[in-house]
Amino acid sequence: MKAKRQRRVAIISTGDELVQGRTVDTNATYIADRLGAIGIEAQSIVTVGDYPEQIEWAWHHSLARADIVIATGGLGPTADDRTSETLAHVADAELYLDEEQAQRIRRFFEVLKRPMPENNLKQARFPVGAEIIPNELGTAPGYRLAVPQGQRRPIAVVLPGVPREMKAMLDTQVIPWILSQSEDDRSIVSRTFQTFGMSESALDEALMGAIDPDEARLSFRASFPQVSVRIAVIGKQSEAEHKLEALSEIVRARLGDAVVAEGDVTMEQVVGELLKRHKQTLATAESCSGGLIGNRITNVAGSSEYYLGGVIAYSNELKRKTLSVSPETLSRFGAVSEETACEMALGVRNLSQASLGIATTGIAGPDGGTKEKPVGTVTIALAADGLGSTNVRARSYQLWGNRDWIKILTSQVALDWVRRHLLGRDPLASDFGLRGSRWQSRS
Amino acid sequence: MKAKRQRRVAIISTGDELVQGRTVDTNATYIADRLGAIGIEAQSIVTVGDYPEQIEWAWHHSLARADIVIATGGLGPTADDRTSETLAHVADAELYLDEEQAQRIRRFFEVLKRPMPENNLKQARFPVGAEIIPNELGTAPGYRLAVPQGQRRPIAVVLPGVPREMKAMLDTQVIPWILSQSEDDRSIVSRTFQTFGMSESALDEALMGAIDPDEARLSFRASFPQVSVRIAVIGKQSEAEHKLEALSEIVRARLGDAVVAEGDVTMEQVVGELLKRHKQTLATAESCSGGLIGNRITNVAGSSEYYLGGVIAYSNELKRKTLSVSPETLSRFGAVSEETACEMALGVRNLSQASLGIATTGIAGPDGGTKEKPVGTVTIALAADGLGSTNVRARSYQLWGNRDWIKILTSQVALDWVRRHLLGRDPLASDFGLRGSRWQSRS
């Protein structure tokens, strides 16, 4: 579905590093995404280097076909930052020094206890008529400027190129301003659901008919191995919030356990929060994931509170010596088996005295597969008090993709086992959307 | 330094997903980078959605100011793939069906044993006058087309949007063609050096005067924690290769051990190759890096040949139980100390019977720092036969950045210790460009 068109918006990115291929232009993508959330599809994105004639070219052609042109970059203090002088030329306006902004920049350096290079005051110079957009995070303010084009008066919106500063200014000032332009008192409220275990099309199907496109915008973004689902509602603030809450309830009901988190939260953060809430500790016994689960868990600040550590049991020798996997199990069932996984999970739990022990073993490839256990065969086991009669359960899956993907998926499924277990669900009750996964429970 | 301008080249990217912010445009960056390598800075990058009038707008303005316009996307089989019909319209040319390409597309599906959707033949339709650029990896061929603009005849180069296909066609066909256009018989040869332990400015300084900008182009690309150095020489093939070899010798001599690898090779691949070559095995004892070293090593296919595994000894309990770190050492020197690191490295080596044991312990933050051992304090230890009198050495560093960066830097320094050791160098002899790193060797 094409987004509805309201105001026509174009995007300009400036910077030598962009046209030289040294930096990927994520600013333009971010702006386009935020515009999409309010139902506006960008007309064009034009990227040019720091040359006045190129910047002028970009402005001319973008202003000619849009009501609003959002530009980033070229607001720095050095000689090759030319956005304002070029735009002033295009708009046939003079530049003036804004005393208030100049003071602010001076204070910025005072706070940092650093001398201010005089050229920084360049960032307090604006085309006459500019409405300043404050920058809370850096020295370069942005601004809006009406640029006459015959009968039309499209608006230029100029923002700094530093992503952190640009994003904050866009989200808190530019997007609300665009909304205020298009209708009286509408604002946008949105919520993102992080999901795992359903494909984009399965999510789409599950939500079919739940969201009236006239009421809200539903969008999916896949970031392997998760898919995020975003609902955005435009309307009067209180009504929109009410509507969003109602739609969120529907999403939660329809997607169920596939929703890992709401907001900008990772699986490992969710698992950490659950472990803390339930006052439990975790240890890992990793073979095919090779330390990735430990790495993900310890990416979360404060994880030492609930993560005791684990064993990367890549060799059978280490499986035996540190995790007490029996030589009989290894020779009879092989390293990649539910029997071995169970002994690994029990072994690391016993070794560390953690409440939960999670284990992975599998064939990440590209070599090592057999007809019976092809590349992508992965077994997960979880050991915990009261889990079946033996305090441990395991299941095998047939994963797909290259070595990296198999490792990432393995770590994701293992973390989701812990999440589901702590939520009181049966981790074996889901196939995580993994096609061809085999049900071979054992308890 | 601005790149020298030869031919003027502009880039067009088409796709709804780009102007809707769903996908970051890495194609344009890739093309710009490859152009930069042959001394051409892109005039502009214009991105538009899949609308004929927008695509036409992009072509008009790009052709007006460039000698060559490289466009990606819009060559697919579906109705919203409109590049060829739009360009044909701009060039005032008819579309024709190329029988040879149609056959090729039919065979492509035969090999896959899949029925060919009839609309795929759309990909065999080209504007009259097009010179076809074969696509070895997919169904959509690209092409070149001269597009008259008054007296000028700029060339449109059209490539599919699938990055893998686009890159192969650009590298093997388009770039050589551009070079063949600009002068008689020049080609470009280049080499990339992966470095670690020197900052971009330190590398720049070290190479000062080594490369005459008229002879070769030197470029740096930082991809934390590594910096790659690339030399590109343009000239007659044999002369350029000879020149590149001579310049490479200078680079190797000036950068010394900071060069981790040549080509598109990771640190963990280099370490793996060295371990195989020296028939040695490795085990890891990770505290603050939390499994990241094991994860990186096991990202390399075949790593089970030399990596035995290790312990993620996050808790002191696991340091004692699995690595035999003595309670006295822990209580007297603390978990983050060279004494503890040494016992960890010896412990994991003994446990696994690996030739080498590498250990990390430190404070990744944001909490847990003290005045004496602030966040970023990290100790590395390596255990190996004949390393000092005790078969183990350690050193502490003061790293910087957030938790992620400290973990990544820790893993990188640890892997570089292994690399340097296997090369017969003293790992303690470098400070890895880590400012403020403390020299506290022990052997």
Span A302-309, average pLDDT: 97
Judged by CB atoms closer than 8 Å, whether chains meet at A20 and B43 is answered as no
- List residues bridging with A234 in a β-sheet: A188
Range from A61-75, B1-15, B79-93, B295-309 carrying the lowest mean pLDDT: B1-15
Nearest-Cα residue of chain A relative to residue B3: A20
Span B323-335, average pLDDT: 96
Element (H, E) at B334: none
pLDDT in tens, A8-52: 999 999 988 899 887 888 899 999 989 988 878 899 999 999 889
Mutate to test the interface with A, among B35, B45, B72, B224 (most CBs of A within 10 A): B45
Residue A436: which pLDDT band, with cuts at 50, 70 and 90?
Answer: very low
Nearest-Cα residue of chain B relative to residue A9: B19
Mutate to test the interface with B, among A295, A321, A361 (most CBs of B within 10 A): A295
What's the pLDDT score for residue A81? Answer: 82
Predicted confidence (pLDDT) at residue A151 exceeds the cutoff of 50: yes
What's the pLDDT score for residue A265? Answer: 92
What's the pLDDT score for residue B1? Answer: 30
Predicted confidence (pLDDT) at residue A435 exceeds the cutoff of 60: no
Predicted confidence (pLDDT) at residue A433 exceeds the cutoff of 90: no
What's the pLDDT score for residue B185? Answer: 63
Joined together, the tokens standing for residue B244 give: 């590149």
Correct CATH for B186-262 of 3.30.1360.40, 3.30.70.260, 3.40.50.970, 3.30.70.2860: 3.30.70.2860
- Residue B166 and residue B388: Cα distance in Å, rounded? 53
- Residue A416 and residue A432: Cα distance in Å, rounded? 9
Which residue type is seen at B359? A
Residues of B within 8 A of A412 (CB-CB) are none
Joined together, the tokens standing for residue A324 give: 């007490």
Cis peptide before A154 (omega within 30 of 0): no
What's the pLDDT score for residue B175? Answer: 93
Judged by CB atoms closer than 8 Å, whether chains meet at A311 and B322 is answered as yes
Is residue B160 within 8 A of residue B153, CB to CB? The reply is no
Kindly indicate whether the domain formed by A267-429 is annotated with CATH number 3.40.50.720.
Answer: no
Mean pLDDT of chain B: 89
Mean pLDDT of chain A: 89
CA B173 to chain CA mean position, Å:
22
Residues of A within 8 A of B229 (CB-CB) are none
Residues of B within 8 A of A31 (CB-CB) are 21
Is residue A415 within 8 A of residue A268, CB to CB? The reply is yes
Choose the closest CB to B294 out of A57, A290, A365.
Answer: A290
Judged by CB atoms closer than 8 Å, whether chains meet at A36 and B20 is answered as yes
Residues of A within 8 A of B311 (CB-CB) are 309-312, 322
CA neighbours closer than 13 Å in the CB half-sphere of residue B330: 16
Q: Which residues contact A114 (CB under 8 A, 6 or more apart)?
A: none
What's the pLDDT score for residue A394? Answer: 96
What's the pLDDT score for residue A185? Answer: 64
Span A143-169, average pLDDT: 93
What's the pLDDT score for residue B288? Answer: 97
pLDDT in tens, A250-261: 999 999 999 999
Burial of B21 (0-12, 13-18, 19+ CB in 10 A): buried
Range from A122-126, A343-347, B15-19, B64-68 carrying the lowest mean pLDDT: B15-19
Kindly indicate whether the domain formed by A9-182 is annotated with CATH number 3.40.980.10.
Answer: yes
B152 to chain A, closest Cα gap in Å: 20
Return the closest-CA partner of residue A354 out of A300, A428, A418, A260: A418
Predicted confidence (pLDDT) at residue B293 exceeds the cutoff of 80: yes
Residue B195: which pLDDT band, with cuts at 50, 70 and 90?
Answer: very high
Choose the closest CB to B19 out of A32, A291, A315.
Answer: A32
Range from A229-243, A358-372, A407-421, B411-425 carrying the lowest mean pLDDT: A229-243
Predicted confidence (pLDDT) at residue A3 exceeds the cutoff of 50: no
A349 to chain B, closest Cα gap in Å: 11
Is residue A52 within 8 A of residue A76, CB to CB? The reply is no
Span B389-403, average pLDDT: 91
Nearest-Cα residue of chain B relative to residue A221: B22
Predicted confidence (pLDDT) at residue B422 exceeds the cutoff of 60: yes
How large is the ipTM? Answer: 0.77
Predicted confidence (pLDDT) at residue B429 exceeds the cutoff of 90: no
B315 to chain A, closest Cα gap in Å: 5
Range from A421-435, B176-190, B275-289, B334-348 carrying the lowest mean pLDDT: B176-190
Mutate to test the interface with B, among A48, A315, A324 (most CBs of B within 10 A): A315
Is residue B94 within 8 A of residue B159, CB to CB? The reply is no
What's the pLDDT score for residue B182? Answer: 67
Q: What is the CA radius of gyration of chain A?
A: 27
Higher pLDDT, B297 or B224: B297
What's the pLDDT score for residue B183? Answer: 57
Task: Sketch the domain layout of chain A as residue ranges.
Answer: 9-182, 186-262, 267-429
Predicted confidence (pLDDT) at residue B440 exceeds the cutoff of 60: no
Mutate to test the interface with A, among B218, B295, B323 (most CBs of A within 10 A): B295
Residue B355: which pLDDT band, with cuts at 50, 70 and 90?
Answer: very high
pLDDT in tens, A114-135: 777 778 888 999 999 999 999 9
Span A145-163, average pLDDT: 94
Span A84-112, average pLDDT: 91
Judged by CB atoms closer than 8 Å, whether chains meet at A45 and B43 is answered as no
Judged by CB atoms closer than 8 Å, whether chains meet at B310 and A291 is answered as yes
Judged by CB atoms closer than 8 Å, whether chains meet at A21 and B44 is answered as no
Range from A291-295, B5-9, B204-208, B230-234 carrying the lowest mean pLDDT: B5-9
Joined together, the tokens standing for residue B102 give: 């149609």
pLDDT in tens, A210-225: 888 788 878 777 777 8
What's the pLDDT score for residue A203? Answer: 86
Residue B363: which pLDDT band, with cuts at 50, 70 and 90?
Answer: very high
Judged by CB atoms closer than 8 Å, whether chains meet at A312 and B299 is answered as no
Higher pLDDT, B22 or B124: B124
Span A395-413, average pLDDT: 91
Is residue A247 within 8 A of residue A217, CB to CB? The reply is no
Judged by CB atoms closer than 8 Å, whether chains meet at A25 and B29 is answered as yes
Return the closest-CA partner of residue B396 out of B377, B371, B413: B377
B94 to chain A, closest Cα gap in Å: 27
Mutate to test the interface with A, among B315, B323, B408, B412 (most CBs of A within 10 A): B315
Range from A334-338, A366-370, A435-439, B213-217 carrying the lowest mean pLDDT: A435-439
Predicted confidence (pLDDT) at residue B3 exceeds the cutoff of 80: no
- Residue A117 and residue B392: Cα distance in Å, rounded? 49
Burial of A391 (0-12, 13-18, 19+ CB in 10 A): middle
Three-class SS of A129-174: CCEEECCCCCCCCEEEEECCECCECCEEEEECCCHHHHHHHHHHHH
Span B158-162, average pLDDT: 93
Higher pLDDT, B21 or B248: B248
**Pairing between β-strand A282-286 and β-strand A307-312 as defined by DSSP bridges:** parallel
Choose the closest CB to A295 out of B2, B291, B322.
Answer: B291
Return the closest-CA partner of residue A373 out of A290, A430, A440, A291: A440
A13 to chain B, closest Cα gap in Å: 9
What's the pLDDT score for residue A262? Answer: 95
Span B114-136, average pLDDT: 88
What's the pLDDT score for residue B435? Answer: 46
Span A436-443, average pLDDT: 30
What's the pLDDT score for residue A438? Answer: 32
Choose the closest CB to B366 out of A2, A58, A301.
Answer: A301
% of chain B exceeding 90 in pLDDT: 64
Span A338-364, average pLDDT: 97
Choose the closest CB to B291 out of A3, A287, A292.
Answer: A292
Judged by CB atoms closer than 8 Å, whether chains meet at A322 and B322 is answered as yes
What's the pLDDT score for residue A384? Answer: 97
Choose the closest CB to A21 out of B29, B44, B304.
Answer: B29
Choose the closest CB to A314 out of B33, B307, B321.
Answer: B307
Predicted confidence (pLDDT) at residue A434 exceeds the cutoff of 80: no
What's the pLDDT score for residue B6? Answer: 60
